[in-house]
Amino acid sequence: GYRLSPQTLTAIVKRYSKNGKIFFDDYVACCVKLRALTDFFRRRDNMQQGYVNFVYDDFLQCTMAI
């Protein structure tokens, strides 16, 4: 599982819910995106401290690929 802040959870619900519900297809899309972003982050978090540095181009490539 993921430990998400209330703010992040609110952002996810705003993005993926329709009329207060998240349909299965949207849930799967959210899970795929969350996994891909987490993998991208973890590959760059060599010290496993929850902080990374990356250039803007890396950020764009990652977010546009999802």
pTM of the model: 0.79
Which residue positions in the chain have pLDDT lower than 50?
none
- Give residue-wise pLDDT tens across range 32-49: 999 999 999 999 999 999
pLDDT for 42 equals 92
- How is residue 66 annotated by DSSP? -
DSSP code string of 1-60 = -----HHHHHHHHHHH-BTTB--HHHHHHHHHHHHHHHHHHHHH-TT-SS-----HHHHH
pLDDT for 16 equals 95
Fold that domain 6-65 belongs to in CATH: Recoverin; domain 1 (1.10.238)
pLDDT for 13 equals 93
pLDDT for 59 equals 87
Task: Note whether 28 and 36 are within 8 A (CB).
Answer: no
- Residue ranges per structural domain of the chain: 6-65
pLDDT for 39 equals 92
